[in-house]
Structure 1
Amino acid sequence: MKKVIAALLLTGIAFMQVQAQQQTPFGKSDPKAKAILDAASAKFKTYKSIKAGFSLKITTPDNKVMDTKTGTVYLKGKKYKVLLDGQEIYCDGSTTWSYNKDTKEVQISAYTPDNATLTPDRLFSNFYDKEFLYRLSGSSTHRGKPVDVIEMTPLDKSKPFFKVVVQIDKAAKNIVSTEIFEQSGNRYTYEITAFTPNAAMADNSFTFDAKAHPGVEVVDLR
C-alpha cells in the first residue's frame, strides 16, 4: 500500500509540471484547457525548486475513506524526496532509496522510470503531452479561491487509472488538487496544503544517509 501511495503522490506532483499539447493521434484536446495548462507549466518551470506539503486521501468505490496520509515533497530538477508517515523516498536522479521506518529497511535501486511509475522528472521530457487528452470541465472554488477544473484521460487504456481531474488556481496558476480515478474504482485525492517555491535544498539531501539511521538494514537491488 505504501508503494502505491507514493507512486500516486508522485503522479499528482507530476501533473504540476505538465506541458500541454493540443493535437494527438487520437484526437484534439480542448484549446481552452491547453491555454490553462500551458500557463501552469510555464509558471512551474520558473521555479528552481519546490517544497510542498500535501494530503492524500484514498476513497473506495462506495465513497468510504480507506486511508489518509500527509507529508512533504521536495523537488529540484530531476531530484526529489518524499516524506510520508512511516516512509521516506529519495531520488538523486540516478538512484532511488525507499526507507520503511517500521521495518528499518531501505531498498536501493537504480532509477529506471517506466510507464507504470509516474515520477516528477518525467515531465521535463514532455512525456504527458503525448499521453493525454484533456478538456476544461468548468470552474469551481478551492479553499475560497477560484479554480479551473480540467479533466484528463490517458490515451493508453492499459494504465491503472482512467481519469485524472486537476484543479488549477486561476490567479496563482498552480495546481492545488489532483484526483486520480483507478480502474478498480478507488479514488486518490491529492491536495497541496503548503507551497514554497525556490526553497533552499542541498543536493545531498536527496540521498539516503545510512549513518543517520542506526540499525537500518540495507537491501541493494541494483
Structure 2
Amino acid sequence: MKTIVTFLISALITVAAVGQTQSLGKSDPAAKKILDAVSAKFKTYKAVQATFTFKSEDGKGKVLGVKKGTLYTKGNKYRVTITGGQDIFCDGVTVSTYDKTANEVTISKFEASANSITPQKLFTNFYDKDFLYKLNGEKKEAGKTLQEIELTPVDKSKSFFKVLVWVDKATQTIYSTRVMEKSGNKYTYTVGTLNGNANITDAQFVFNKAKYPGVEVVDLR
C-alpha cells in the first residue's frame, strides 16, 4: 500500500521547475512547453480534489489488482484515501496513516524537508533535477487527444527506469501516468475527475480518533 501512495501522487501531478532539468542533459523543448502549461494551470488552483484509479501489473502483463481513491490538497495540507485500504491525513503538522483492515493509525511528525514527498511538492517540483523528458507524440483515447511525455531518471539506481505521462491536450491536465519498474512490474494511474476549486474544510485533513471506535494508536512523534 505504501507503494501505491508514493507513486499515486506522482501520477496526478507535474512540475514548475522543469527548466532546471536542462542542465542535466538534452530534454525536449516541446515537452517542456506542455509541462510548463500544466504546472501554470495547477498554480491557479485553490484546493484540489481528484479521483483516480490505480492498476498494477506484473512483468507478463497480468493484472495484479485495481484500486480506486481520492486525493485532496489545500495549502500545505493533504489527504489520500484508498477505497477499502488506507486513509492518510496531513494537517501540516502531523501525518496520520489509518489502516482500515487493522483499525490502526500511525502518527508521525510532518517534516517538510528537501527529501520528503508531499502532493504539494510533487505538483510543483516532481521533475526538478531528477529527470530528462521528451515528447513521444499524440494519441486518441476516451475521446481525448493525449500528449505522451516520457521521463527517464538521471539517477540510474532508482527502482524504476521510465515514467510515461499522458496530458489531456484540451484541458492541459494530467490524464494518466505509467511507472515502469526494473523488476518488470508496471503501475498505471488514471485521473477520473479533478476539481481545482473544491470546497474542502481544514477538518478533512485531521484524523479524528472519535470517528474510529476502538482504533489502536501508534504515536511515533
- Shorter-chain TM-score category? over 0.9
Q: CA deviation at 1:103?
A: 0.6
Provide Cα deviations, 1:12-70, integer angstroms capped at 9, x if missing partner.
Answer: 12x33454216534312100000000001001110011111100000100000011100
Q: CA deviation at 1:6?
A: 1.4
Paired residue for 1:11? 10
Q: 1:139 to 1:127 in 2, by over 3 A?
A: closer
Q: 1:22 to 1:117 in 2, by over 3 A?
A: closer
Paired residue for 1:79? 77
Paired residue for 1:70? 68
**One-letter code of the match for 2:161?**
F
Provide Cα deviations, 1:138-173, integer angstroms capped at 9, x if missing partner.
Answer: 101231110110001111122222111001011100
**One-letter code of the match for 2:57?**
T
Paired residue for 1:110? 109
TM-score, length of structure 2 as denominator length: 0.92
**SS at 1:70's partner residue?**
strand
Identity %: 48
C-alpha distance in 2 between matches for 1:133 and 1:12 = 17
C-alpha distance in 1 between matches for 2:89 and 2:217 = 14
Count residues with an aligned counterpart: 220
Comparing 2-11 with 46-55, which one deviates more in the overlay? 2-11
Paired residue for 2:210? 211
Q: CA deviation at 1:123?
A: 3.4
Paired residue for 2:191? 192
Paired residue for 2:139? 140
C-alpha distance in 2 between matches for 1:12 and 1:18 = 15
**Does the CA contact (< 8 Å) of 2:162 and 2:180 recur in 1?**
yes
Q: CA deviation at 1:86?
A: 1.9
**One-letter code of the match for 2:103?**
K
**SS at 2:92's partner residue?**
coil
**Does the CA contact (< 8 Å) of 2:42 and 2:123 recur in 1?**
no
C-alpha distance in 2 between matches for 1:160 and 1:219 = 29
Q: CA deviation at 1:129?
A: 2.2
Q: CA deviation at 1:112?
A: 3.0
C-alpha distance in 2 between matches for 1:144 and 1:92 = 38
Paired residue for 2:174? 175
**Aligned counterparts, 1:125-136, within 5 A:** 126=125, 128-136=127-135
**Does the CA contact (< 8 Å) of 1:12 and 1:190 recur in 2?**
yes
Instruction: Verify: 1:120 aligned to 2:129, yes or no.
Output: no
C-alpha distance in 2 between matches for 1:212 and 1:192 = 29
> Cα RMSD between the aligned structures?
1.9
C-alpha distance in 2 between matches for 1:48 and 1:214 = 33
Q: CA deviation at 1:204?
A: 2.1
C-alpha distance in 2 between matches for 1:124 and 1:65 = 28
Q: 1:20 to 1:72 in 2, by over 3 A?
A: same
TM-score, length of structure 1 as denominator length: 0.92
**SS at 2:203's partner residue?**
helix
Instruction: Verify: 1:50 aligned to 2:43, yes or no.
Output: no
**Does the CA contact (< 8 Å) of 1:116 and 1:159 recur in 2?**
no
Instruction: Verify: 1:30 aligned to 2:41, yes or no.
Output: no
- Unpaired runs of 5+ residues, structure 2, are none
